[in-house]
Amino acid sequence: MSDVGRFLAMGGYARFVWPAYALWAAVIAGNVWGAWRALDRARTRALRRLAARAHDAPDRSSS
Amino acid sequence: MNGAGASVVSPGQAALVLISRELRLAWRRWGQSLHPVAFFLMVTTLFPLALSPESAQLRSVAAGVVWVGALLSSLLALETLFRADLDDGTLEQVVLSGQPLAALMLAKTLAHWLVSGLPLVAATPVALGALAVPAVAFGPIMLGILLGTGVLSFLGGIGAALTLGTRRGSVLLSLLILPMAMPVLIFGARAADLAVRGEPAGGGLLLLTAMLVLTVTLAPLATAAAVRICLE
Amino acid sequence: MNWTWFHRLASPPHFYRIAGQLLPWFAIPAALLLLAGIYGGLVLAPPDYQQGDAYRIIYIHAPSAWLSLLCYTVMATAAFVGLVWRIKLAHAVAAATAPIGASFTALALATGSLWGRPMWGTWWEWDARLTSELILLFLYLGYMALRSAFDDLTRADRASALLAVVGVVNVPIIHFSVYWWNSLHQGTTVFKAQPSIPPSMLLPLLMCLLGSTLLYGALLCVRVRAEVLERERQASWLAGLVK
């Protein structure tokens, strides 16, 4: 068996080791994406609120 | 509004007034107090039907079945702890009364334990008999259930207060309480299992007593804080 | 003792700026350490005497379990600070930490299960550690469920903070009871680390542990910024910072 082949086989435990690492990568990717998405959504909503307030500003006294 | 009225009645007297009120109300609606008991009996009798009628096998799972049944019934009973008082405004009055809220929460939970826990303890021999447990084991197991329902009432009070007024509060309540109830389940069921097998269960019962003392002293503080959070 | 640094950190606009500056200092070392640690663990470290190559799961299982506990500690501490000193930013930290901690707890359970299958022969073992992790997952889920049950953000903050504090008081009791229960019913078949782990095995593990901690810091920087933006509804400083 080639070196790469032996590495991938993980001494016969490949079907446990590789899914574990795949899950780990998925959880990290999911966390990174989730955090970025939360910030992005919060920014959009904050900008929208600011725009709405700026729009209303001429009609009412500034807070 | 902490006027002269608040200083006339001592916290102890206020607590007693609250307890007697709870007991009187429960007596008027005694049918409602029986719902958790009926649930308990139904759950415990489901297991022989699902497993086998063979006595030896039933006896081996009896401790666990009875304790899980008691736990689930206690969860069911917790829904009534605050709901009526929240709906008719009594809870707000209790909070505004100027008495130390933790003492009043202790009183309320104590009354709830008396109303919901004692009938469960009384029903335990029926469940145990159905599961082929020898009569000598009844005493220690009933004592364990008594102590355990106490711990669950006080822990559950915190959860009930936290979920006051939330939608689908009962499902959420179970999710919140169950992790914290696991030590009670572990120790209680172990003590009951020892009793079923005729071995001394004193150690487990002492542990349950210790847990009860811990929860009775600390839980009302958290319950009072939770009630304040949800009402303000 | 000069506490101004603490008060300034608790100020949302200040924190928002600092979090943005700190992010690369967390993220880049985290990525480097994790990649190096995983490479060391998968490729460079020798196979274990007893477990062959299956032990390599430890390089992701141990850091996940570590993070699950670290996150709960941070969450409960932040909740306590938020409750007692009424600092909104503390509640934001707790809220941001919960999903991170929950996901790594689930990962610890899954990787523990995958590790346990070749070692113990079954997909699930009521091992004391796995059972405690499972209960920890329930605690996280309860926190997040309670938080989402309230419409009012302040009430959600305070109620879930109280739950976190009550939970953290219970954690030692739960842990002790589960260990006691487990030791009664089965001989402990928990994987015990060899008394002297060769450095080639230990070093990647330490890198993964440190890298995971820094990853959590990086994720916090991003998520707490998002929480701050959600909470500062009326603030005028938003106009300057949000682009």
Q: What is the pLDDT of residues A31-60, one digit of tens each?
A: 999 999 999 999 898 888 888 877 876 655
Q: At what angle do helices C128-148 and C58-85 cross, to 10 degrees?
A: 40
Cβ distance C184 to B190 less than 8 Å, yes or no, reads yes
Q: What percent of chain C has pLDDT over 90?
A: 51
Residue C189 has pLDDT above 50, yes or no: no
Range of the domain at C73: 14-242
Would you put residue C86 in left (φ > 0), alpha (ψ -120 to 50) or beta? left
How many domains does the structure of chain C reveal? 1
pLDDT at B191: 94
Among all residues of chain B, which has the CA nearest to that of C167? Answer: B180
User: Average model confidence (pLDDT) for chain C?
Assistant: 86
* C178 — pLDDT class (breaks 50, 70, 90): confident
**CATH code where residue C70 lies:** 1.20.120
Residue C187 has pLDDT above 80, yes or no: no
What are the DSSP calls for B58-114, one per residue?
Answer: HHHHHHHHHHHHHHHHHHHHHTTTTHHHHHHTHHHHHHHT-S-HHHHHHHHHHHHHH
CA distance C108 to chain B (A): 18
**Distance (Å, rounded) from C-alpha B21 to C-alpha B111?**
9
pLDDT at B88: 83
pTM, to two decimals: 0.88
List the structure tokens of C171.
């954690």
List the structure tokens of B157.
């009070």
Residue C188 has pLDDT above 50, yes or no: no
pLDDT at C44: 84
Whether A contacts B, i.e. 3 or more CB pairs less than 8 A apart, is no
Q: Which of A40-54, C19-33, C35-49 has the highest mean pLDDT?
A: C19-33
* C213 — pLDDT class (breaks 50, 70, 90): very high
Q: Is residue C7 part of a domain?
A: no
List the structure tokens of B221.
């503080």
In this structure, the number of other CB atoms found within 10 A of the CB of residue C193 comes to 12
Return per-residue pLDDT of chain B as tens, 232 residues.
455 555 578 888 888 988 998 889 888 888 888 899 999 999 998 888 888 888 898 999 999 999 999 999 999 999 888 888 888 888 888 888 888 899 999 999 999 999 999 999 999 999 999 898 999 999 999 999 999 999 999 999 999 999 987 877 788 999 999 999 999 999 999 999 999 998 998 999 999 999 999 999 999 999 999 999 988 7
Comparing C217 with B90, which gets the higher pLDDT? C217
Cβ distance C149 to B226 less than 8 Å, yes or no, reads no
List the structure tokens of B216.
């009775």
pLDDT at C175: 84
Instruction: Kindly give, in sequence order, each residue whose CB lies less than 8 Å from that of residue B44, ignoring residues fewer than 6 positions away.
Output: B65, B66, B69, B127, B130, B131
Q: At what angle do helices C58-85 and C88-120 cross, to 10 degrees?
A: 150
pLDDT at C242: 58
Name the nearest CA neighbour of B196 among B58, B63, B68, B69: B63
pLDDT at A1: 59
Comparing B49 with C196, which gets the higher pLDDT? B49
Q: Indicate the Cα dihedral angle C134, C140, C146, C150, nearest 10°.
A: -150
C33 interaction partners in chain A (CB closer than 8 Å): none
Q: Is residue C71 part of a domain?
A: yes
Among all residues of chain B, which has the CA nearest to that of C182? Answer: B186
pLDDT at A10: 74
Residue C190 has pLDDT above 60, yes or no: no
pLDDT at B208: 95
pLDDT (mean) for C76-95 = 94
Residue boundaries of the structural domains of chain B:
11-230
pLDDT at C186: 56
Is A32 within 8 Å of chain C by CB? yes
Q: Is residue C140 part of a domain?
A: yes
List the structure tokens of C32.
């480097």
CA distance C21 to chain A (A): 15
List the structure tokens of C117.
């299958």
Q: Is residue C1 part of a domain?
A: no
Compute CA distances B184 → B12, C49, C170, C225, whole Å: 29, 41, 11, 40
